[in-house]
Amino acid sequence: MSFILNECLAKDAREVGSRVAVLGYLRAGRQDQAVEGLEAGLDDILIGFDPVEPYPGLTGQTTAALGKAITGAREYRSAYPRQSKAHVRDEMVRNLFARERYK
């Protein structure tokens, strides 16, 4: 329990830092940097949705939420394709989109 709690809180703390940076870019009129920050953050979250082995014990509600989130992200990236500087991460996201893990 302690390990999971620490991981969740650390991830949330990083997310707060990312959001603060994006908000700073937006308020400074630097939309391109803000969009890139949001896109990179989206990749970070999506990559966590694609473990080597399926996560055990997910509820139907969680599985449905993951499926919906992945479908929405796939549709967004289809409309707004992106090539980052981290080609390995791009490939990981494409691999997630190619699978039907949470159907």
Task: Quick: pLDDT tens for 53-96.
Answer: 888 899 999 999 999 999 999 999 999 999 998 899 999 999 99
Reference 73, options 87, 54, 92; nearest CA is 92
- 75: DSSP letter: H
pTM: 0.85
The confidence band for 1, taking pLDDT boundaries of 50, 70 and 90, is low
